[in-house]
Amino acid sequence: MTEGNATANINARSGRRRWNDGFLRFLVWREKHIKEKTFVMLLALVVGILCGTAALVLKSLIHYISHMLTQNMSITGGNYLYFIYPVVGIVIVGIYVRHVVKDNISHGVTRVLYAISQNKSRLKSHNIYTSVVASSVTIGFGGSVGAEGPIVYTGAAIGSRVGSLFRMSPRVLMILVGCGAAAGIAGIFKAPIAGMLFTLEVLMLDLTTVSVMPLLIASITSATVAYVFTGYNVEFFFMQSEPFVTARIPFVIMLGLFCGFVSLYFTRAMNVMENLFSRMNRPWKRTAIGGSILAVLIFLFPPLYGEGYSAITDLLSGDPSKIVNGSIFYSDRQDAGFITMFIGVILLMKVFATSATNGGGGVGGTFAPSLYVGCMAGFFFAFLLNNIGFDLDLSTKNFALMGMAGVMSAVMHAPLMAIFLTAELTGGYDLFLPLLIVSTISYGTIKLFEPYSIYTMRLAQRGELITHHKDKAVLTLLKISNVIETDFKSVRPDMNLKQMVDVIAQSNRNLFPVVADDGTLIGVVLLDDIRNIMFRPDLYKRMYVDKFMSAPPAKIELGDTMEKVMKTFDDTGAWNLPVVDHGRYIGFVSKSKIFNSYRRVLRHYSED
């Protein structure tokens, strides 16, 4: 190393030290002069600006790539490039994720939920940009997924890193992660209310003064950034030309039921497909099969290309004829029967296109696909009834709008967010009553069959989910390792009663684990069980521990979740249970210690 390089390195290290020292002094000054609540509001504002910018970058990249690839495609016939583009996109993203990112960045919303539940709301720094890059290529090249899952992941990572930078507590980090997720939705949809409700209903952040104000600030700030740079127009143009009348309410109720069952199909088919892809242990095999399925479906049904927002716009305008543009089924004149069948097939095939995209190696979410399927379901429902001889004259575009809210409400188990998002996306506030009806009935229908949303069911199956139930939420924040007590005096099975009494004299406990020479727990001795013989000296040399020990009512494994631990306590009625690690004695956990820890965590995370 030359003398110049050595000097430069020394100067760089000196500069970093000065920066770190200065930043630490700022943190100390902040703690003395700015209240935490006020500082969280300021951080929420910063998160909102950053997430709004990230949403703009993501949307711009998707539109640029998609426009560049499809601008010269024919609308009057099939386009064979649809066989190539989706596969190329998945291959590029697969290489990027495996060899550059070297981390799994799919299922963004589920991973945010996992970070909140199990990782103290900490996300990796690369999540700020890797999902943006991967999803823009996936969707731009035709992947049939949405950008909302990735922007939620990106926004949550921004919130987590901003909070970590300023050394905020896990409780505040959780709020800032929620702010980032809300701001991501608000920025990409220009929907601040829906962004906040997304965090409350899907990420299940508690509704308190401390959480609501930062969520509102982040959402409004992000939406404002989007409005400033892209204008005040809504995402989907919708003009209500037919007023809603109360005579249509029975059909609105029927649509709610229909959307509930469509959502059930969407959720279960998605799970089946993802399980099939997860069992393929070779990436090239997943890419080949997923890419082939996606390419064939897009070639046959071009509305499945990318997010599919242009198809939604066509249906919301009441003109379904454009939906066959660019396909091999194109014709200047399409009869009602063919359009009904074409939309019905798309409705069924969207879930396979979405799962093939993600299963094949692409990166995207199920947020936009649920909107898409809902729009198709609502239009299909009204269009079918109008053309089977009843002369009902139902407004297909009104029902398409209601269907968007219905399917999203059921798939995500978030009825309020679905209602407000649909209204904010389209400006369709005049249809608020039917939106409420459809969303509520659809949500109620799927709840009969699926207790968890498409995002939470995987975590729920593994017991790693924070839920709306306050007690379960707090239990997931407790760790078994933090409540183990190790001050119990252990005894050996070959010890006599005199030795046992000597151990009792040295202990302030009434419970004694019986441990073999190799550390294996083989039983317990309760003081009450030997109280009648411990004061009989004539038995001191004749009675041994292995004669009066008993089996514990149950054993807790070191890796058990706290929810499982509490269920074990409830099932046995015990107040103390031994903790083992593959049979080796570790300590005891008591119900009273868990209750004390529960109350402490509850107070910490519910501070107003």
Does residue 486 or residue 21 have the better pLDDT? 486
Q: Please compute the mean of the pLDDT values over residues 325-351 and round it to a whole number.
A: 86
Of 373, 415, 456, residue with least CA distance to 194: 415
Q: Please compute the mean of the pLDDT values over residues 217-224 and round it to a whole number.
A: 96
Count how many residues are written for the chain.
Answer: 608
Kindly report, residue by residue over 140-194, the tens digit of the pLDDT. Answer: 999 999 988 899 999 999 999 998 888 887 788 888 999 999 999 999 999 999 9
**Domains 31-230 and 472-605 equal at CATH topology level:** no
CB 178 within 8 A of CB 195: no
**b (16+ CB within 10 A) / e for 79-114:** bebbbbbbbbbbbbbbebbeeebeeebbbbbbbbbb
Q: Would the pLDDT of 117 be above 90?
A: no
**b (16+ CB within 10 A) / e for 257-273:** ebbbebbbebbebbbeb
Q: Would the pLDDT of 391 be above 80?
A: no
pLDDT range class, residue 209, cuts 50, 70, 90: low
CB 540 within 8 A of CB 568: no
pLDDT on residue 604: 56
> Where exactly are the structural domains of the chain?
1-30, 31-230, 246-469, 472-605
Kindly report, residue by residue over 276-315, the tens digit of the pLDDT. Answer: 998 888 889 999 999 999 999 999 999 999 998 989 988 9
pLDDT on residue 217: 95
Please name the CATH architecture into which domain 472-605 falls: Roll (3.10)
CB 330 within 8 A of CB 324: yes
Does residue 19 or residue 112 have the better pLDDT? 112
User: In the chain, what percentage of residues exceed pLDDT 90?
Assistant: 45
pLDDT on residue 468: 46
Sign of the torsion formed by the C-alpha atoms of 224, 225, 231 and 235: negative
Q: Would the pLDDT of 608 be above 80?
A: no
pLDDT on residue 358: 92
Rounded to 10°, the helix 148-165/108-118 angle is: 30
Lowest-confidence segment of 203-207, 293-297, 403-407, 453-457 by average pLDDT: 203-207
SS (H, E, C) 18-72: HHHHHHHHHHHHHHHHCCHHHHHHHHHHHHHHHHHHHHHHHHHHHHHHHHHHHCC
Residue 326, token pair as written in the block? 């660019």
Within 10 angstroms of residue 193's Cβ, the number of other Cβ atoms is: 20
pLDDT on residue 463: 57
CB 608 within 8 A of CB 533: no
Is the domain spanning 31-230 CATH 3.20.20.150? The answer is no
pLDDT on residue 459: 66
One-letter amino acid at 399 equals F
Neighbour-count burial of 302, counting CB atoms closer than 10 A to its CB (0-12 exposed, 13-18 middle, 19+ buried): buried
Q: Give the DSSP letter string of 355-388.
A: HHHHHTT---BSHHHHHHHHHHHHHHHHHHHHTT
Q: Please compute the mean of the pLDDT values over residues 195-223 and round it to a whole number.
A: 84
Q: Would the pLDDT of 453 be above 70?
A: yes
Q: Would the pLDDT of 416 be above 70?
A: yes
Q: Report d(CA 201, CA 203) in Å as an integer.
A: 6
pLDDT on residue 135: 94
Q: What is the dihedral of CA 186, 191, 195, 196, to 10 degrees?
A: 120
Q: Report d(CA 199, CA 335) in Å as an integer.
A: 43
CB 456 within 8 A of CB 272: no
Of 219, 222, 126, 117, residue with least CA distance to 173: 117
Q: CATH for 246-469, among 1.10.1050.10, 3.40.50.300, 1.10.3080.10, 2.60.120.10?
A: 1.10.3080.10
Determine the distance from the C-alpha atom of residue 105 to the mean position of all C-alpha atoms in its chain, rounded to a whole number: 12
